[in-house]
Each structure stands twice: as C-alpha cells, then as structure tokens.
Amino acid sequence: MTKYDLELFLQLNEEYEPKKLVTAPPPIQDASARLTRKRGNAQAIAKNLSKWIDLRGKTVLDFGCGMGDLDVALAEDFACNVTGVDVKERPEWKKLTHPRVERMVLDLSVPENAQRFAGRFDVIASISVLEHVAHPYRALEGLRTVLKPGRYAWLKANLYRGPKASHRYREVHFPWPHLLFTDEVFRQFYERIGMRYKGAAWVNKLTHYHYREYFDRVGFEVLKEWFSTTPIDEGFYVRFEEILGRYPRSDLERDFINVVLRSKSA
C-alpha cells in the first residue's frame, strides 16, 4: 500500500513542477499595472454575466464580493446599483469606490440578515465563493430570500473533488493533493519550503449533485449549467487508484460548476 507521507508529496511536486496543474500569471511589480489587470478580469466576468442575464440598470447583489472589483465593473459598464457583501471587510473597499456601489459585512446564511433585504435584488452574482461557505444550504436560502421572484442568479463554485480544490496550486503542482494527503503532510511541506503553514484550503464537500438538490429545495430553477474541467491525468490516476477510485471519474475532472438560476414564483 502506498505511504502518503511528506517524501511522496515532495516527489510528486518535483515530478509535476515542469507540468504544473495551474500556470501562474506573470508577476507584476507595479501596483497600478496589477490593478489594471484585476480591473480587466472583473470586466471580463461582468461581460460574460451579461451574456446570460440582462444587467443594464439592475439592482445587483455581489455575494462574497472580496476586494469589490466586480462591483465597480458592474456599476461602470452596466449602470448597475450594486451591493457587495462579504463576511469580512477588505482594505480595498476604501479604494475601489463608485457612487452606485455600497458594501457591507454581512452573513446571508443567517436568516435574520437575509430577511433585512428580502426581495430587494434583480440579480445575484457569486463567483468562487459558495465552496468556502460553512452552511451552503442556509446561504442559498438567504440568496433566494433577497432575490425578487422570477429574477436571476449566476453562481460559480469550486467543486471539492476537482483537481484544483486544494487552492494551493501556486506551490503544489500535482492534482488532487487534498484528496491524497492530510493537513499534517501539508504542514510539513510548507515548513520544508520555508513558508507559513497552510493546509489545503477549507472547501465544503458539496458535489454537483448536492448543488442541484439544494437549488430545487430552496426554490431555484436551473436555466443553464456548465462545468470548467481539467482532463484526468490517466497515469496519475492509475498510480493512486486506491484513493481516487473511490470517487466518480466525472467528479474528479470537474473544477467549477457554473449555473444560471431563476427564482421560482411563490
């Protein structure tokens, strides 16, 4: 039986360094240039969202807004009135401002918080946030509460069984490390390379099927669904089939689920 220890972790990382799972974008030293790149990324997301949902002049909730760059892109490019919410305040909020953007610290998985904004929004956008939510079903209930009946949401979420769900691919180059190794091995790895300890990022363990069940139970209709995928490395899969074979192959290649939802009328 394979011994899943630090020695194996280091061996795999060295082996996959020339063929990294994710290639990092070129580093930018200039702060203004970094901001320009982030701004371009946010504009691309907003434009993609507009392909599926009419955004012009709409009242939008950005659930898990992070830095808030998407909020500004929606306000500037589509004249949206945007409310960005996150569970913690970000320093970038003071810099990334716009007259049609407001932000607040708010946990919508708490029913009382969601009720404060019941039926307020035309559109919800949430990009790579739901996987980090400790109570995803309650969060989806909260999103359904704040969305007007018959209106739309675009949700993108990282799926736990996908090859990139560890969120450590800047330093860890091989697929599915979070399925193969414990957090203790991650700790040893980061100590070895002289970085602050990190385990695999905390990601809830919902599959695509869980999300579909939750959408239906909460009161969302799925209008469109698609996945971002990474083809299975067959040689790697065979080497670690004693672990990876426990999961459906389709789950092992799905990185993100993307859905366009419509809230069902009461």
pLDDT at 262 > cutoff 60: yes
* Mean pLDDT computed over 229-248: 96
Give the number of domains in the chain: 1
pLDDT at 25 > cutoff 70: no
pLDDT of residue 30: 58
- Cα separation, 127 vs 50, in Å, equals 14
Burial string for 60-87 (b: 16+ CB within 10 Å, else e) reads bbbbbbbbbbbbbbbbbebebbbbbbbe
pLDDT of residue 202: 85
Round the average pLDDT of the chain to a whole number and report it.
92
In a domain, 14, yes or no: yes
pLDDT of residue 176: 97
In a domain, 178, yes or no: yes
Domain that holds residue 70: 6-263
Residue 162 corresponds to which tokens in the numbers above? 């996908």
Secondary structure element (H or E) that encloses residue 10, with its range: helix 6-16
In a domain, 1, yes or no: no
Length, in residues, of the chain: 266
At 171, the pLDDT band (50, 70, 90 cuts) reads very high
Q: What is the CATH number of the domain that holds 83?
A: 3.40.50.150
In a domain, 166, yes or no: yes
In a domain, 209, yes or no: yes
pLDDT of residue 209: 94
37-80 pLDDT per residue, tens: 677 888 889 898 889 899 999 999 999 999 999 999 999 999 99
- Which of the pair, 27 or 118, is modelled with greater confidence? 118
In a domain, 75, yes or no: yes
pLDDT of residue 73: 93
pLDDT of residue 43: 87
In a domain, 220, yes or no: yes
In a domain, 66, yes or no: yes
